[in-house]
Amino acid sequence: MDPEIISSPALMQERARNLRLERRPIALVPTMGALHEGHLSLVREARQRVGPDGVVIVSIYVNPTQFGPNEDFEAYPREFDEDRRKCSGEGVEIIFAPNDRQMYAASDGGSHSVHVVERQLSRTMEGSSRPVHFEGVTTIVAKLFNCCLPDLAVFGAKDYQQAAIIRKMVHDLNFPVAIEVAPTWREKDGLAMSSRNKYLSAEERSQATALHKVLQQCSAMVMQANDPQSVTADILLEHAREVLRAYPLVSLEYLAFFHPDSLEAVSDVRVGHHIAIAARLGRTRLIDNIRIG
Ligand code: AMP
């Protein structure tokens, strides 16, 4: 069956309220569309969690407030018809696809002036590279929660820091929503699936495997370390730069070694720590991360 398409926040809320009265569990998968297998894996996880009587809502919204002024908001791929077909194939009951006016118009004609800001986990990595990004993310996710009233929301480990910040928001602001984080889906050559992979030229696409290669090689170095059972972040960074010499189209923005809970940088890197990378290939900015071990 084709998913029901809802664009009005008020109608979405009313629909969700009725589903809750019917005691049907609701799972939300927030996305910006241009859906790929990674997104669909979250949809399958959502279905598994709520069961056949539950309702899976996929939100599709390219949220302007999480893009910086010189980022790719305008260019971001928008493929609604294709997305709808994919959701239909997965048995998604509802697509919530609001527009900017519906999401951000203030009732008094002024501007949207209430935002959700996380001040701890969002300081590093994506937060320092993209200053407005996480404020946009937490604000839109809070709004999506209030529109869709989910029991559960599923996010991808591909955006590890984002998932950690959402968990923190849910805890600190007492949102009655369980957060599930599903593993990163990759292409056969290791490249993490991303809607932004569509921007890559053939040559960039073939060099984009470097991100995963760097993560894996750093992880392998740590796993092979015996005494002490750690490798310094400096040595790993040096090794990463050496690996990247073979990929001239890849320009490293950051390589971060961090604790999985606090997201604080670690200087002695061990099994159980995480590694995140951000790099540019031409105008495309890609990110990836893995857990060591
Ligand atoms: P996006 O549409 O890029 O904002 O992503 C929507 C959700 O899908 C986020 O929770 C992402 O972490 C998740 N996601 C994106 N790419 C992948 C992937 N390759 N594997 C698993 N989840 C992903």
2-51 per-position pLDDT tens digit: 999 999 999 999 999 999 999 999 999 999 999 999 999 999 999 999 99
| From 28, 39, 137, mutation site for ligand 1 pocket: most ligand atoms within 8 A of C-beta | 39
Of ligand 1's atoms, which has the minimum distance to the CA of residue 184? Answer: 20
* Distance from residue 227's CA to the centre of ligand 1 (Å): 37
* Distance from residue 245's CA to the centre of ligand 1 (Å): 29
In one-letter notation, the amino acid at residue 39 is H
Q: Is the pLDDT of residue 277 over 80?
A: yes
The DSSP output letter for 150 is: -
Per-residue pLDDT of 115-132, as tens digits, reads 999 999 999 999 999 999
* Distance from residue 189's CA to the centre of ligand 1 (Å): 18
* Distance from residue 40's CA to the centre of ligand 1 (Å): 9
Residue 140 Ramachandran class (φ > 0 left, ψ -120 to 50 alpha, else beta): alpha
Q: What is the pLDDT of residue 193?
A: 98
Band of pLDDT at residue 105, cut at 50, 70 and 90: confident
Of ligand 1's atoms, which has the minimum distance to the CA of residue 183? Answer: 21
Q: Is the pLDDT of residue 83 over 90?
A: yes
Burial of 158 (0-12, 13-18, 19+ CB in 10 A): buried
Domains of the chain: 4-182 (3.40.50.620), 195-287 (3.30.1300.10)
Q: Is the pLDDT of residue 111 over 90?
A: no
pTM across the whole model: 0.97
Phi and psi angles of residue 177, each rounded to the nearest 5 degrees, phi first: -130, 130
| Ligand 1, atom 13, residue with closest C-alpha | 156
Burial of 211 (0-12, 13-18, 19+ CB in 10 A): buried
Q: Is the pLDDT of residue 106 over 90?
A: no
Tokens for 195, please give them: 């809607």
The ligand 1 site (C-beta within 6 Å) comprises 31-32, 38-39, 41-42, 155-156, 158-159, 182, 184-185, 192-195
Distance, CA of 207 to chain centre = 22
Which residue, 291, 286, 278, is CA-closest to 216? 291
Q: Is the pLDDT of residue 108 over 90?
A: no
Separation of alpha carbons 221 and 198, rounded Å: 32
Q: Is the pLDDT of residue 80 over 90?
A: yes
| 3-class state of residue 264 by DSSP | coil
Contact 55, 93 (CB under 8 A): yes
Q: Is the pLDDT of residue 110 over 90?
A: no
Q: What is the pLDDT of residue 55?
A: 98
Q: Which residue has the higher pLDDT, 110 or 83?
A: 83
Band of pLDDT at residue 208, cut at 50, 70 and 90: very high
Residues involved in catalysis: 39
Q: Is the pLDDT of residue 194 over 90?
A: yes
Band of pLDDT at residue 227, cut at 50, 70 and 90: confident
Q: Which residue has the tokens 């990004």?
A: 133
Mean pLDDT of the chain: 97
Residues 69-83 have a mean pLDDT of 97
